[in-house]
Amino acid sequence: MCLSPLHGRQLGQVSAASFNLVKDYSGSTFFDEWDFYGSWDNLTLGDVNWLDRTNATNEKLAFVNGANNAILKVDNTTNVIWQNKHESIRITTQKEYAIGTIWIADIVHMPFGCSVWPALWTKGPLWPNDGEIDIIEGINLMQNNQMALHTQSGCTHVTPAPANQRGTSAQLDCSIDAGCTVLETAANSYGAGFNGAGGGRANIPKSISSSTPTSVLASIDDWGPPAASYPSGATCDIGKFFGAQSLVIDITLCGTTGKCYDDNVVGAGDKYNEAYFEIKYVRAYSNSDVSSSPTTGSGASATTTGQTSVNTTKSGTKCCCAFGRRFDYFGPLNFIVVVRIFIGIYQSSGCVGQFELIPGW
C-alpha cells in the first residue's frame, strides 16, 4: 500500500491521531438507529416509493441475511403497471456526526443496472446551507465512480487539482447541478466491476481489516492517496460551508436523468435482481464530539435535502468518509475524508468502486 505524497508534517499530523469508535451499525441491530424515509422520491424525482420500516421489513426490502449482513434493495418481484412505481429503501442515521468523524462502510455488493441510481452520501440539517457530500453514487451501467460536494455559492474546487488526488477533477463550482465533481480513474470502481472484484478486500489497509466492532482506529499510516481531495482554503472554507452530517443510503430509479421509465420501470421486476446493497457494517470514528440527537424526523416531514447527485463508491469493499478538523490526510479505500484542512476521498489500489457527489454535509 502506497502512502500519499504529502509533506512529512502533514502525514505525521495524521498518523499521530487515533479515533475512538462512536457507533457500529452491524448485525441484527443494523437498522435500529436509522430513520426510514417512508414516502415517494420527492428529492430526485425517481420512480420509487421509499418504504417506512414496517413495510420495508414486511416486504423484505430491508433485512439482515443469513451472513449477518444488512440488505437494502429495490422490489424485484412486482410486475409494475404504467404510472406506478417500484418500492425501494432510503435510510438516514439518527445521529448527526460533527467535525472529526470518519465513516467506514464494508460493502459486499452495490446496486447496479439500467435505471438503477444508488447512493451513499451525507447531508447537513439544512440543504444546501450545511452542505452535501456524495460518497458512493452512479447510475445505469456506469463503471467509474464520481465524487462531489454540494454547497451554497462561494465554494469551488481548487485548480489545478491537489497533487495527491488520484481522480480527475471535472466541474469546479460546488453550487451548481452535479456539484464540484471528481471522476474516479481506477477500474471497477462501481457496479458490476465493483461486485465482481470482491470489493478489493485484498488491498484494504491492515488498520481497518484488523479492527473490530469495539476497537479504536489506532492508526491510518497505511492509508494511500485519496481518489478526491478538496482542500479547505481561499476557494472554499470547509468550516463555513459544511455542518454536522447525517449518513444516507438509498436506491432510486431513473430520476431526473432522462426518459427511462417506460423502458425500465414498467414491467417485470426481475430486471432489478442486482439492485441491492449488502453491507457488513458501517462504523463511525471520531476524535471530537458527535451529536447523539436524532435528526429532524423521518418521512416526508423531514427536512428537504435537495436533489442528490449520482455518486458511487470505489470498487473496494470498504468505503470510508471522514469529516475532521485536525487532519490533513486520509488513505486508501472507498471512502472520503472530510477535514477542515480538506475533504478527500480515498481508496486502495485494489478497490473497485466509485465515489461521486457528496450530498448532505
Cell numbers at 329, concatenated: 490526510
pLDDT digits (tens, 9 = 90+) for 158-177: 999 998 898 999 999 999 98
Task: Say how far apart CA 89 and CA 58 lie, in whole Å.
Answer: 13
Residue 145 is predicted with a pLDDT of 86
Higher pLDDT, 61 or 222: 61
Tell whether 358 is covered by a domain: no
The model's pTM is 0.80
Lowest pLDDT segment from 18-27, 153-162, 261-270, 291-300: 291-300
Domain range holding 138?
8-353
Q: How many domains does the chain have?
A: 1
Q: How confident is the model at residue 288 (pLDDT cuts 50, 70, 90)?
A: low
What one-letter code names the amino acid at 97? Y
Tell whether 359 is covered by a domain: no
Residue 3 is predicted with a pLDDT of 21
pLDDT digits (tens, 9 = 90+) for 189-236: 888 888 887 766 667 888 888 889 999 998 877 888 888 888 888 999
Smallest CA-to-CA distance from 138 within 117, 168, 161, 113 is with: 117
Tell whether 136 is covered by a domain: yes
Tell whether 106 is covered by a domain: yes
Residue 204 is predicted with a pLDDT of 81
Please tell me which of 272-276, 333-337, 346-350 the model is most confident about, judged by mean pLDDT. 272-276
pLDDT at residue 139 is higher than 60: yes
Residue 257 is predicted with a pLDDT of 58
* 246, β-bridge pairs: 123
pLDDT at residue 110 is higher than 60: yes
> String of b and e for 294-303 (b: at least 16 CB within 10 Å)?
ebeebeeebe
**Mean pLDDT for the chain?**
76
Instruction: Tell me the longest C-alpha to C-alpha distance in the chain.
Output: 60
Cα 91 to chain centroid distance, Å, stands at 12
Give mean pLDDT, residues 96-108.
87
Task: Say how far apart CA 57 and CA 100 lie, in whole Å.
Answer: 33
Higher pLDDT, 316 or 151: 151
Give mean pLDDT, residues 141-165.
91
DSSP letter string, 72-96: EE---S--BPTT--EEE-EEEESSB
Tell whether 1 is covered by a domain: no
Tell whether 218 is covered by a domain: yes
Percent of the chain with pLDDT over 70: 73
pLDDT digits (tens, 9 = 90+) for 21-35: 999 999 999 999 999
pLDDT digits (tens, 9 = 90+) for 114-136: 999 999 999 999 999 999 999 88
Tell whether 361 is covered by a domain: no
DSSP letter string, 196-212: HTGGGGGGS-HHHHT--
Q: What is the CATH number of the domain that holds 65?
A: 2.60.120.200
Higher pLDDT, 53 or 286: 53
Tell whether 2 is covered by a domain: no
Residue 259 is predicted with a pLDDT of 80
